[in-house]
Amino acid sequence: MNKLIIAGMVASGLLGYNIKEDGTKVEQALENVQYIKSWVHEDLNSGVMDTIYAEYYLNSLNETEDLLIEELTN
């Protein structure tokens, strides 16, 4: 359950990072999202998390990941 709280905090605050010219903060944020996605998958597979919640979190994290990748590539 702590992972869910952390995931929400990280996902909601990711786009508020100040971005350095070299993209460092965006890369760190993208890495955080990918770690959290793996935790959600682990929790789903172990039965700790309900499928509905996992889908909601994964959709939000995927959207955030896409935005970060877009930021890195522009």
Q: Which residue has the tokens 């995931």?
A: 7
Mean pLDDT for back-to-back runs of 10 residues, the chain (74 residues): 54 52 81 96 96 96 93 85
Quote the CA–CA distance of 15 and 1 in Å, as a whole number. 23
pTM of the model: 0.69
Q: What is the pLDDT of residue 51?
A: 96
72-13-49 Cα angle (round to 5): 105
